[in-house]
Amino acid sequence: GRTPATARVFAEAGGPVIVATVEGAPSTWRSAIEASGGEVLVVASEAGADGERHVSLEALLRTLGQRGILNVMVEGGGVLLGALFDRRLVDRLYAVIAPVVIGAAAAPSAVSGRGAQVMREAPRLHDLAVSRLGEDVLVEGVPAWPDATAD
């Protein structure tokens, strides 16, 4: 478990907070998450590129769906977002863009993963809406996944 029990989400969520993890997560961490008001959900794991065991995203989304949870806010960085996009597990995107430019060759990417090697492989957003959220910009859209068999 990498989510700290002191994360602001436990105090500011305004609703239930579910933290997914794999079997073998330390019991002290689980207890701390629960003491902070979170629910620890243990799901199947899979091997990550780093050799560690990670939450199976398919298993997690299936479990949440079985509970009637159909909308999920993902706030985990480029690696997690990249994995969701690589597996085509995103069916609606709400991206909040801050008016800050971070550059450099080694700067973290908003969406990592395998990504598209050429533009025709990249999902396009449809049903697009753009609005302001204070100083930020909210981009909403539905990804249209390219046909994997097309040339």
What CA–CA distance (Å, rounded) separates 55 from 49?
13
Single residue among 22, 49, 73 that ends a domain in this structure:
73
Please tell me the predicted confidence (pLDDT) of residue 149: 53
What is the pTM for the complete model shown? Answer: 0.80
Q: Which two tokens stand for residue 117?
A: 């090697």
Q: How many domains does the chain have?
A: 2
Question: What residues make up the domain containing 9?
Answer: 1-73
Residue 151 is predicted with a pLDDT of 45
Looking at the fold, whether 62 and 111 belong to one and the same domain comes out as no
Between 151 and 20, the higher pLDDT residue: 20
Tell me the residue ranges of DSSP E strands in 18-98: 18-21, 39-42, 45-47, 53-55, 93-97
Name the phi and psi angles at 124, rounded to 5: -105, 145
Encoded tokens for 56: 């199976």
* 100 lies in the same domain as 140: yes
Structure tokens at 114: 């395998």
Q: Does 79 fall in a domain? A: no
Residues 60-76 pLDDT 10s: 999 999 999 999 888 77
Closest CA to 124 of 144, 95, 105: 144
Are residues 69 and 100 located together in one domain of the fold? no
Same domain assignment for residues 48 and 96? no
Summarize pLDDT for 90-117 with one digit per residue, the tens: 999 999 999 998 888 888 788 888 888 8
Query: Which of 11, 38, 73 corresponds to the end of one domain?
Result: 73
Within this chain, do residues 62 and 120 fall inside the same structural domain, yes or no? no
What value does the mean pLDDT of the chain take?
Answer: 89
Give yes or no for residue 148 having a pLDDT over 70. Answer: no
Q: Is residue 43 assigned to a domain?
A: yes
21-63, pLDDT tens digit by residue? 999 999 999 999 999 999 999 999 998 877 888 899 999 999 9
84 belongs to a structural domain: no
Domain's final residue, options 25, 42, 73: 73
Cα distances (angstroms) measured from residue 8 to each of 41, 50, 107: 19, 28, 25
**DSSP 8-state code for residue 73:** -
Helix (H, G, I), strand (E, B) or coil at 60: helix
Give a yes or no: residue 134 inside a domain: yes
- Considering the domain architecture, whether residues 17 and 56 belong to the same structural domain is answered as yes
